[in-house]
């Protein structure tokens, strides 16, 4: 069985590629990073190290790679001949890989038209695969779309494993936390699909993706933004400071109240999920930069993402959202080298001020109580600096 995985980065190699390989797939990574692609082709395997006391090394074998910039036809051909396609490129990159997938589907219709295909976006977003489908369908004509409706499915997914930036001599080595969770919406899949070991197939994904995004990622970016304001460079350092950890707990109590009310999670079970998450953040065997965890602040401040969505849902239910608003305010101070979203955010902030910036990027408008709460926090955080 063949899988094509777009994005041979941290989560691609450290999580998705690993599980696919363990389930008997030959994995072909598609990436634009020539060094990583060349090394994967040359060696056909790479090491994944679990960040625990034992530091167990798992060797992922049976892999190869293609560069979608210099080998676009081969990448499309790989999609045409595959049994499964997955991605972990970043949600904003999905539109850039859609062309290769669309070309692959056209080739598939010519030579492999009957075989069903699942395409799963493993990104931190609600409806990531559905978003990818829209980008791909925009490039297909009516006849191709009708064929794809019967033959290609884009089940949404939630993926969870903390994989920090990697700085090793070996460009393929990847250190990952032991914990992982990968949930896939089986209601969007064709019957009789080959199960990937370790994947949790669920009938309704929403509780899983919201619990993950609004706990792990909401808490994570709160630790990054408030942590950086306190002068910390890593999540592990930041979480040792009660000012940061205490804020993260209060944020997770707010998003947790929404999750419990909406999805019926039992309070004690959800609290246990929060405690596990906090322990994962603090894992002393990992070094996770706040610059990675806070990256792309405009995406993180956007309406459907980890801050505004739980805050809006809390507001609509008459629940608290003040600490979520404080994280939004802290996001306006976030700095990271080479992050175009930081540059855009700072340029808007300098030109138009915090109220306009919060109103624009949260999509809530200036008068919204959440924006007004974030603005009050922004002013207070400004004075404290
Ligand atoms: N790292 C984590 O802890 C983690 C955990 C869960 C989910 N995620 C999600 O997984 C996705 C990837 O995150 P990551 O941390 O692995 O990032 P990463 O930067 O390590 O990996 C992204 C990879 O995509 C490649 N890429 C960029 N443009 C491409 C293109 N046009 N075609 C093919 N490949 C391209 C990059 O070269 C890179 O290798 C993101 O959506 C992220 O939110 C990350
Ligand atoms: O990848 P992002 O930018 O959406 O979020 C940064 C981190 O919170 C994220 O990568 C987590 O490490 C991951 O989602 C854990 O499963």
- Specify the pLDDT at position 367: 98
Any known ligand binding at 7? yes
Decide if domain 207-384 falls under CATH 1.10.1040.10. Answer: yes
- Specify the pLDDT at position 385: 85
Half-sphere exposure in the Cβ direction for 132 (13 Å, CA): 35
- Specify the pLDDT at position 140: 98
| Ligand nearest to C-alpha 91 | 1
Any known ligand binding at 112? no
With a Cβ cut-off of 6 Å, ligand 1 is lined by 6-12, 30-33, 68, 88-91, 93, 96-97, 123-124, 159, 161-163
Q: Where are the domains of the chain?
A: 2-204, 207-384
Any known ligand binding at 14? yes
Q: Is 367 exposed, middle or buried (0-12, 13-18, 19+ CB in 10 A)?
A: exposed
| Ligand nearest to C-alpha 6 | 1
Decide if domain 2-204 falls under CATH 3.40.640.10. Answer: no
Q: What DSSP character marks residue 289?
A: B
Ligand 1 centre to CA of 93 (Å) is 9
Any known ligand binding at 10? yes
Secondary structure of the chain: what % helix, strand, coil (to 5)?
Answer: 55, 15, 30
Q: Ligand 2 atom closest to Cα of 161?
A: 16
Name the residue at shortest CA distance from atom 6 of ligand 2: 293
Ligand 1 centre to CA of 220 (Å) is 17
Quick check: ipTM above 0.85?
yes
Is the pTM higher than 0.95? The answer reads: yes
Ligand 2 pocket test, pick from 293, 295, 340 with the greatest ligand atom count within 8 Å of Cβ, gives 293
Which regions in the chain score pLDDT beneath 50? none
Ligand 2 centre to CA of 11 (Å) is 9
């Amino acid at each position: 069985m063949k899988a094509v995985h777009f994005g041979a980065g941290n989560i691609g190699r450290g999580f998705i590629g690993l599980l696919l390989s363990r389930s008997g797939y030959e994995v072909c990574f598609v990436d634009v990073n020539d060094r990583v692609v060349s090394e994967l082709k040359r060696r056909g395997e790479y090491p994944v190290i679990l960040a625990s006391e034992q530091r167990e090394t798992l060797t992922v074998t049976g892999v190869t790679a293609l560069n979608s910039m210099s080998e676009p036809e081969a990448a499309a051909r790989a999609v045409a001949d595959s049994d499964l396609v997955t991605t972990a490129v970043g949600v904003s990159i999905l539109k850039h890989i859609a062309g290769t997938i669309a070309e692959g589907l056209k080739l598939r219709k010519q030579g492999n038209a009957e075989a069903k295909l699942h395409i799963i976006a493993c990104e931190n977003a609600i409806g990531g695969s559905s978003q990818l489908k829209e980008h791909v369908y925009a490039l297909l004509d009516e006849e191709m779309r009708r064929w794809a409706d019967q033959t290609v499915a884009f089940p949404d997914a939630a993926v969870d494993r903390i994989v920090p930036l990697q700085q090793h001599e070996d460009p393929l080595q990847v250190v990952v936390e032991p914990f992982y969770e990968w949930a896939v919406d089986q209601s969007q899949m064709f019957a009789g699909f080959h199960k990937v070991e370790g994947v949790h197939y669920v009938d309704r994904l929403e509780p899983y993706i919201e619990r993950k995004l609004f706990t792990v990622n909401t808490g994570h970016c709160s630790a990054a933004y408030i942590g950086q304001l306190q002068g910390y460079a890593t999540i592990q350092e930041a979480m040792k400071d009660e000012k940061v950890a205490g804020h993260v707990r209060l944020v997770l109590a707010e998003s947790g109240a929404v999750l419990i009310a909406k999805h019926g999670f039992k309070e004690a079970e959800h609290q246990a999920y929060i405690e596990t998450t906090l322990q994962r953040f603090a894992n002393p065997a990992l070094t996770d930069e706040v610059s990675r965890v806070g990256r792309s602040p405009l995406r993180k401040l956007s309406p459907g993402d980890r801050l505004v969505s739980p805050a809006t849902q809390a507001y609509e239910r008459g629940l608290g959202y003040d600490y979520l608003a404080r994280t939004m305010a802290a996001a306006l101070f976030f700095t990271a080298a080479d992050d175009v979203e930081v540059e855009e955010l700072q340029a808007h902030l300098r030109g138009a001020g915090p109220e306009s910036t919060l109103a624009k990027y949260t999509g809530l408008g200036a008068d919204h109580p959440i924006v007004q709460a974030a603005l009050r926090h922004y002013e207070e955080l400004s004075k404290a600096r």
